[in-house]
Amino acid sequence: MGKFVITKRANGEFQFNLKAGNGQGILASEGYSSKSGCEKGIESVKKNSQDDSQFDKLTAKNGKPYFNLKATNGQIIGTSEMYESTSARDNGIESVKTNAPTATIDDQTA
């Protein structure tokens, strides 16, 4: 089962990472000024990860594929790692869709 890991950055912002059952990171958030904002971001990932149209499939300047997950307002709520192939990126999207809805929360800031 996947899990969202909440951590605090050096600048005091909160962020989350969605990890697959094997512990591999599959989605990282932006920085949030409050923990409640970070928790709302997690809820948004759980909801929006079930809508294919919320995933933007992109290619970085170095040619590596990655994706962003957007909220219904168009704001980016999570970014993937860089992948070696488009099929690996697509597998990453499927992993978010599978893991996010039932993922537990591991708050490492408490």
What is the pLDDT of the chain when averaged over all its residues?
96
> Which of 99, 95, 101 has the alpha carbon at shortest distance from 83?
95
User: Is 16 a residue whose pLDDT tops 80?
Assistant: yes
Residue 25 has what pLDDT?
Answer: 94
> What's the one-letter identity of residue 100?
A
Q: Which residues is 9 bridged to in the sheet? A: none
36-59: pLDDT as tens digits:
999 999 999 999 999 999 999 999
The structure tokens listed for 97 are 């869709």
Where are the chain's structural domains?
A: 3-107
pTM of the model: 0.94
Dihedral angle sign, alpha carbons of residues 76, 78, 40, 37: negative
Residue 1 has what pLDDT?
Answer: 86
Q: Report the CATH fold assignment for 3-107.
A: PH-domain like (2.30.29)
Q: What percent of the chain has pLDDT over 70?
A: 100
Mean pLDDT, residues 80-86 taken together: 97
Residues with Cβ within 8 Å of 28's Cβ and at least 6 positions away in sequence, in order, are: 15, 16, 17, 18, 78, 79, 80, 81
